[in-house]
Amino acid sequence: MNNLLSLDFTVNGKSETFTFKPDASLLTVLRDNGRTEVHNGCETGDCGSCVVILNGKTVNSCMVLAASAKGGDILTVKALGDIYNPHPIQRAFAESGAVQCGFCTPGQVLSTYALLLENPDPDVEQIKKALDGNICRCTGYKKIIEAVLMAGRLMREADNG
């Protein structure tokens, strides 16, 4: 008997069908299908390395059953930009020194993206709240907060012309 599900998703704007076990997490399904930018850190929802944006909301993909995301719109950090054409958030993280080992960076960047879409000019406390749950073991958080402030400024400048 075939115990696999085959469900449709939209990942970074592209329709895809994934086949997986009914108890598979969204993290596992994404990684098993080549989305290695979604990092596997703790598998308990504590570190934020696996953050994706699902239907407009940041989620720890390790805590979401893939089947429950059926038909969902999933955004990973690769949708924002790459080394040749970085998103202002990615640029700000690099320029401010908020990236060291890079393991937490995709989750930090996506959490920042979600914050800045909702609030283009957050203060430090709002940034801390938005990034709560994204653990960085390398930088401390000073440079990450500086990166978010810079990213907000860059995005506001881009919107204003």
Proportion of the chain above pLDDT 70, given as a percent: 99
Residue 61 confidence (pLDDT):
98
Q: Comparing C-alpha atoms, which of 93, 71, 73 is closest to residue 81?
A: 93
Strand 5-11 versus strand 73-75 pairing type: parallel
Q: Is the pTM of this model over 0.85?
A: yes
- Assess whether pLDDT exceeds 90 at residue 138: no
Residue 100 confidence (pLDDT):
87
SS3 104: coil
Q: What is the mean pLDDT of residues 98-113?
A: 94
pLDDT tens by residue, 21-72: 999 999 999 999 999 999 999 999 999 999 999 999 999 999 999 999 999 9
**Which domains, and CATH codes, for the chain?**
5-77 (3.10.20.30), 88-159 (1.10.150.120)
In terms of C-beta density within 10 A (0-12 exposed, 13-18 middle, 19 or more buried), how is residue 73 classed?
middle
Residue 161 confidence (pLDDT):
63
CB count in 10 Å sphere of residue 24 = 18
Q: Comparing C-alpha atoms, which of 68, 79, 80, 78 is closest to residue 9?
A: 68
Secondary structure element (H or E) that encloses residue 52, with its range: strand 51-54
- Assess whether pLDDT exceeds 90 at residue 153: yes
Residue 1 confidence (pLDDT):
52
- Give Rg (Cα) of the chain: 16
